[in-house]
A and B are shown apart, each in its own frame.
Chain A
Amino acid sequence: MFSLLAQITWKQWRVHRLRTLLTLMGIALGVAVFFAVRTANLTLISSLTLTIEKLAGKATLQITGGEAGFPEAVWDTVRDTPGVRVAQPVIEVIANTAFEDEGNLMVVGVDMLGDSELREYQFDEEGTEIADPLIALAQPDSILVSRIFAEKHNLKDGDKLPLFTSQGRKDFIVRGIIKPAGLGEIFGGQIAVMDVFNMQFVFNRGRNFDRIDLMNESDVTVDELQKRLRERLAAGIEVGRPASRGQGIENAVSAMRIGMTVASFVALLVGVFIIFNSFSISVNQRWKEIGILRALGVERPNVQRMFLGESVLMGIIGSALGVVLGFFFAVGAERVMSDIASKIFGYVATQQPPVFRWDYALTAFVVGVVTSLIGAWLPSRAASRLNPIMALHNIETRQRENVLGWTRMLIGAAMVVSGLALIRFAPARVKLDIQYGYSLLMLFGLILLLPKLTEWIARLMRPFFDRLFGSEGLIAVDTMILSPRRTSATVGALMIGLMFVFSMGAYVRSYQQTVSTWMDRMINSDIIISATEMARSRTYHFSEDLSKKVAGIPGVKRIENARIIFVPYADDSIAIVSLETEGWFLRVKDVIEEADSDKARESVIAGEGILAARNFAARYNLGVGDHIRLNTPTEIFDRPIVGIIEDYTSEKGSIFMDRALYKRYWNDSSVDIIEVNLEAGTNANAIKTEIQRVTKGEHRAFIYTNSEYKSWVLNLINGFFVLNYMQMAIAIIVAALGIINSLLISVSERKREIGVLRAIGGLRSQIRRMILLEASAIVIVGVLIGALAGLLNTYFLVRTASIMIGGYTVPFRFPIWIVIASLPFALIIALAAAWWPARKAVNLRVIEALGYE
Chain B
Amino acid sequence: MMIQLENVTREYGDGKLVHALDGVSLTIDRGERVAVMGPSGSGKSTLLNLICGLDEPTSGVIRIDGADIAGLDDDARTRLRREKIGMIFQTFNLLPTLSATENVALPLRLQGLSRRDAETRANSMLGKVGLAGRSSHRPDELSGGERQRVAIARALIFDPPILLADEPTGNLDSHTGEEILTLLDNLHREYNTTVLMVTHNEEAAAYCDRVLRLRDGRVVKEEVVKATRLGG
Contact = CB atoms under 8 A, between A and B. Distances in A.
A757 B110 contact: yes
B98 A761 contact: no
A398 interface: yes
Interface string B210-230: 000000000000000000000
Contact of A470 (B75, B87, B109, B154): B109
B55 A482 contact: no
A179 interface: no
A765 B97 CA distance: 21
Interface string A433-470: 00000000000000000000000000000000011001
B69 to A, nearest CB: 14
Interface stretch (B35-43, B78-86, B174-182, B190-198): B78-86
Interface in B53-69: 54-55
Given A760-B81, A847-B49, A847-B55, A396 B92 contact: yes
A544 interface: no
Contacts of B78: 758, 761-764
Contacts of A396: 91-92, 94, 96, 139, 147
B52 A759 contact: yes
Interface in A348-404: 395-398, 400
Contact of A753 (B92, B95, B107): B95
Contacts of A478: 97-98
Contacts of B154: 760
B140 interface: yes
A475 B75 contact: no
A538 interface: no
Contacts of A755: 93
A748 interface: no
Interface in B14-56: 49, 52, 54-55
A762 B109 CA distance: 10
A774 to B, nearest CB: 12
Contacts of B93: 752, 755-756, 759, 850
Interface residues of A, number: 32
Nearest to B92: A396
Nearest to A400: B140
B79 A761 contact: yes
Contacts of B52: 759
Contacts of B102: 474
Interface string A71-111: 00000000000000000000000000000000000000000
A766 B139 CA distance: 23
A705 interface: no
Interface in A732-757: 752-753, 755-757
Contacts of A756: 93-95
Nearest to B78: A763
Contact of A764 (B75, B109, B140, B155): B75
Contacts of B49: 847
Contacts of B140: 395, 397, 400
A765 to B, nearest CB: 8
Contact of A850 (B89, B105, B110): B89
Contacts of A764: 74-75, 78
**Is chain A's binding surface mostly helix, strand, loop or mixed?**
helix
Contact of B82 (A397, A400, A760): A760
Contacts of A398: 96
Contacts of B106: 471, 757, 760
B231 interface: no
A846 interface: yes
A576 B111 CA distance: 75
A850 B89 CA distance: 9
Taking each of A467, A756, A758, A763, which has the highest tally of chain B beta carbons within 10 Å of its own beta carbon? A756
A466 B110 contact: no
A757 B154 CA distance: 11
Contacts of A479: 97
Contacts of A306: none
A253 interface: no
Contacts of A212: none
Interface in A154-173: none
A475 B115 CA distance: 13
A481 interface: yes
Contacts of A752: 93
A475 B87 CA distance: 20
Nearest to B85: A761
Contacts of B79: 761, 763
A737 B140 CA distance: 33
Contacts of A850: 54, 89, 93
Given A466-B115, A760-B87, A766 B54 contact: no
Given A474-B102, A846-B54, A760 B97 contact: no
Taking each of A395, A470, A760, A763, which has the highest tally of chain B beta carbons within 10 Å of its own beta carbon? A760
Given A400-B140, A470-B109, A481 B54 contact: no
Interface of B: 49, 52, 54-55, 74-75, 78-79, 81-83, 87, 89, 91-98, 102, 105-107, 109-112, 115, 138-140, 147, 154-155
4 A-B pairs with least C-beta separation: A761-B82, A471-B109, A397-B96, A478-B97
Given A847-B49, A850-B54, 20 more contacts: A396-B91, A398-B96, A470-B109, A470-B112, A470-B115, A471-B110, A474-B98, A474-B109, A482-B96, A753-B96, A756-B93, A756-B95, A758-B78, A760-B87, A760-B106, A760-B110, A760-B154, A761-B110, A762-B110, A763-B79
19 contacts: A395-B140, A396-B92, A397-B139, A400-B140, A471-B105, A474-B98, A474-B115, A475-B97, A482-B97, A758-B78, A760-B81, A760-B82, A760-B87, A760-B107, A760-B154, A761-B81, A761-B110, A761-B111, A764-B75
